[in-house]
Amino acid sequence: MKIPFHRADIGEEEIAEVIDSLKSGWLTTGPKVRKFENSFAEYIGGRFAVAVNSCTAGMHLALEAIGVSRGDAVIVPTLTFAATAEVVRYLGAEPVFVDCQQSDFNLDTEALDSVLSAAQGKGLNVKAIMPVHYGGQMVDMAAVSHFATQHGLQIVEDAAHCCPAGFRESSNAEWESVGARSVVAAFSFYANKTITTGEGGMAVTDDEDLAERMRIMSLHGMSRDAWKRYSGGTAHYDIVAPGFKYNMTDLAGAIGIRQLEKADRLHAERERLAGIYRELISDVEEVTSLVDQANRIHSRHLFVVKVNPQSSSRDRDEVAAFLKNKGIGTSIHWRPLHMQTYYRERYGFQDDDFPSAARAFDEMLTLPLYPGLRDEDIALVVDTVKQAVR
């Protein structure tokens, strides 16, 4: 590939921190993870952070901690990655899908009341809502929190794309960080995220009881992890619940410590590169970029465009294939869940049950965006897109 879809920004700092862990002899959950947790909580503005091996794990632990169980239901966008709905199914609960907005592909907040009414009409006990911040741009959390408060629902944020991110209700209001309006926000440190630990995630909350429950359940329901048992304490522990195996290793935590230190620099570079993309793509009538909503701090995790089927000489898949043949990596985020085999067969969905998401899937294409991408690389990507659509 001339220009791969993603390349992680890993420097000597991360390498040195990992080597320090290797030399220490402590590789699993320990002091590096604790330091990463404390630093990340401070960075996001939450009181407690629980490091886990994926954002999926963080969302699962969050739903379990707030009491979601068999017979309950959780509202999730259909335009999301598999994890958002599958964690609901892990607990025997039912996902209730909501369509997306065409402007930014975030969930349609104006549809929430009708979605809830329809779910309740089917006898479902809707207990929570899980907004997903598509591509790193936050959902209208003021609308989501108003809806949740009005109907007595808990909010768990799928913030896999958000570090950092923020919103405010108006230009005169105070900025609020991602996670400020939810009981738990779950973050991803997968290889292509804005900061990475290779694989990993974090659950952030202001509720001490929820944090303790998630911490215990992240490691088999054990009352004390290995670091607590072998760093000066007793080796005894108690199993207080049938938990999971979701802990983060110190090797991953070591990378996270150093990635977090440069998170603001990485974000600034993503912002700059996205600006170049937006300027160069603006005169390509066959392709449009998503709308930057007012009063948002966008993480710029993804740069997604829509290939207009009416004006482009090639459809989205053909454009992606054209770019691949020219050595440029792309991706698609995502096929909506209601169009996936499992959910279609279980719930009897048709593609047009959520028409906005179905249309989005036909048109969306994610272009390379990451620190280390050069200005001339972006110019080449856009020039190649022009060749493809014309």
The dihedral of CA 64, 69, 72, 75: what is its sign?
positive
Q: Give yes or no for a contact between 174 and 142, defined as CB atoms under 8 angstroms apart.
A: no
Catalytic residue of the set 32, 127, 193, 306: 193
Q: Which two tokens stand for residue 242?
A: 């049938």
Q: What's the CA gap between 354 and 194, in Å, rounded?
A: 29
Q: Give yes or no for a contact between 265 and 164, defined as CB atoms under 8 angstroms apart.
A: no
In the three-class reduction of DSSP (H, G, I as helix; E, B as strand; rest coil), residue 164 is classed as coil
The residues pairing with 201 across neighbouring beta strands, listed in sequence order, are 52, 188
Q: b/e for 296-312, b at 16 or more Cβ within 10 A? A: bbbbbbbbbbbbeeeeb
Q: Which helix (H) or strand (E) holds 288?
A: strand 287-289
Q: What's the CA gap between 65 and 69, in Å, rounded?
A: 10
Residues 6+ away with beta carbon under 8 Å from 216? 222, 223, 240, 241, 243
- Burial class for 171, CB neighbours closer than 10 Å (0-12, 13-18, 19+): exposed
Q: Which two tokens stand for residue 287?
A: 């392709």
Q: Which helix (H) or strand (E) holds 243?
A: none
Q: What's the CA gap between 189 and 165, in Å, rounded?
A: 15
* 127 in catalytic set: no
Q: Which two tokens stand for residue 280?
A: 């160069």
The residues pairing with 204 across neighbouring beta strands, listed in sequence order, are 49, 185
Q: What's the CA gap between 180 and 203, in Å, rounded?
A: 13
Q: Which residues are catalytic?
A: 193
